[in-house]
Amino acid sequence: MLDTLQKARLVRFGLLGAAVLGVAVGALSSQLVTRAQEAEPQNFTVMAGGFGPNNIEVLAFAPQSLQVHRGDTVTWVNNGFHNIHFNNEPLPLVIVPEGEGEPIPQINPAIAFPSIESGATYQGGEANSGLPLPGVSPIFSLVMDLEPGTYSFLCDVHPGMAGVINVVASDVSIPSPQEVSMQAASELGATVGASIGATMELEAQTFTDESIYSGQINMGSANTGRATINQFFPFVTVIQAGESVTWNNLEGGVEPHLVGWPPVRGQDVSPIEVEGGPPILAVGPTLAPMTPDGASIAAGEAFNSGLIFPGQSYTLTFTEPGVYPFTCNIHPAMNGTVIVEAA
């Protein structure tokens, strides 16, 4: 038998429980259903790139498109080496400005450095987050103070990587921040899933005598949507002394690669200080071409192709028998071997 006090407690607990549940359900439903403009501005997250298993990297903004109301904030999470640039066309990543003295190949300062600070109010026009260089936060946000309309942004490093923000009128209901994040996860997941299948196919196609003895190596993947599979296909090739190997970054790929040996990692830029201004981000030994296309390599000789973009190839001739490892300086998991047999 419950005494009166216990009953009173149970009733109170029951009411409290229902109230807590009600608040929770209320909060959840207000977050999960589409809605017209909230009294408070909302904060939406956009993923800039993502990583999967098997050396898969997604070079896309997710969600690719989202709706906001005027005054909402969009926060980009930079998961890779990307910038967020409200601009019509991508800019070239490496430029060689004409000027006094030796021309210096350098990372384009119009890509590298921000033209708007994170947290600022965006009112349209050209605006660039800058690159996530050492010491720069991977989180970048803007308050969208914009008339209803479509505003597109892109990553200059990865042509084709672009996204859209649709600013809609305040009385139009839009997906909640939680729904937008779910959409992002779904888009990234679908791309990674398709690429896992593609990896297996590419490996099966390239683990054949025909492929291994061809002297042809593909750098990463092509036609895997907005994903790149950062492997060499095949990663072993066998040639005779005096023959050549050609590395192909196929048309339809989305990521630059290099081929070189020994590995030179993490020295993408060699900054040159400039008084009263930002440094010149001179291309460092990781990215700098050292060995021209078509050159001959002797046993033990160091080489570096420099960046090879989709649609470009790079050929070396191996004159001496031996085992020649190679790597991609910007993708440490990309490694392979040329085996040169005596002719």
Q: Applying CB under 5 A, does 158 fall inside the site for Cu ion?
A: no
Closer Cβ to Cu ion, 87 or 224, answer by number: 224
CB of 300 to Cu ion, least distance (A): 23
CB of 235 to Cu ion, least distance (A): 12
CB of 216 to Cu ion, least distance (A): 17
For Cu ion, the binding residues in 200-259 under the rule CB under 5 A are 257
Q: Applying CB under 5 A, does 331 fall inside the site for Cu ion?
A: yes
Q: Which two tokens stand for residue 170?
A: 């305040």
Which stretches within 50-124 are classed as H helix?
A: 109-112
Q: Applying CB under 5 A, does 334 fall inside the site for Cu ion?
A: yes
For Cu ion, the binding residues in 269-328 under the rule CB under 5 A are 328
Closer Cβ to Cu ion, 129 or 305, answer by number: 305
- The Cα–Cα gap between 83 and 116 comes to 12
Closer Cβ to Cu ion, 254 or 334, answer by number: 334
Q: Applying CB under 5 A, does 85 fall inside the site for Cu ion?
A: no
CB of 233 to Cu ion, least distance (A): 12
Nearest to 66 by CA among 152, 191, 169: 152
CA quadruple 164, 170, 172, 174: dihedral positive or negative? positive
Question: By rule CB under 5 A, what count of residues binds Cu ion?
Answer: 4
Q: How far apart are the first and last CA of the chain?
A: 98
3-state secondary structure 242-255: CCEEEEEECCCCCC
Residue 257, judged by CB atoms within 10 A of its CB (0-12, 13-18, 19+), counts as buried
CB of 170 to Cu ion, least distance (A): 46
Give me the residues that bind Cu ion (CB under 5 A), please: 257, 328, 331, 334
